[in-house]
Amino acid sequence: MADLAAFAGLVPLDHGLVVVSTSRADSTVQSSVVNAGVLDHPITGRPVVGLVSAGSSRRLVNLRRRPRATVVIRAGWTWAGVEGPVDLAGPDDPLGDIDGERLRLLLREIFTAAGGTHEDWDTYDRVMAEQRRVAVLVTPERTYGSG
């Protein structure tokens, strides 16, 4: 298991903004900017990089077919990268015994791990459900970076 300390240390410096890269069917790379943070995997208990993806995103289509991702975070000239397999947990992506209530809480955990705060959690939960949001959990196989 690779260490996520350097990655986690950068999360609060720029709102957990990261670039996440996935593989398309034609083997090209699709990248996007999202918020991510470090939290414990809800099943294994091991530290992972977590992000939330809209149910209709191209990133999610790619991850369902090829469940691996690279996530890079930076603050100034300091950066850290994480590569590894991905677990998905969402309304269309069952994971272990994660039910609707556990998913609702997991999406909140990822949001707060990325530095997010919310004044109206009921609205947050409703929007996440309407958009069929999915928890994306990247288990670190490789980590690297500048510091």
CB atoms near residue 101 (< 10 Å): 8
Task: Tell me if the pTM is above 0.85.
Answer: yes
CB atoms near residue 99 (< 10 Å): 9
Q: Would you give the distance in Å from CA 136 to the centre of its chain?
A: 4
Residues 80-130 have pLDDT tens digits of 999 999 999 999 999 999 999 999 999 999 999 999 999 999 999 999 999
Quote the pLDDT of residue 1: 53
Domains of the chain: 5-145 (2.30.110.10)
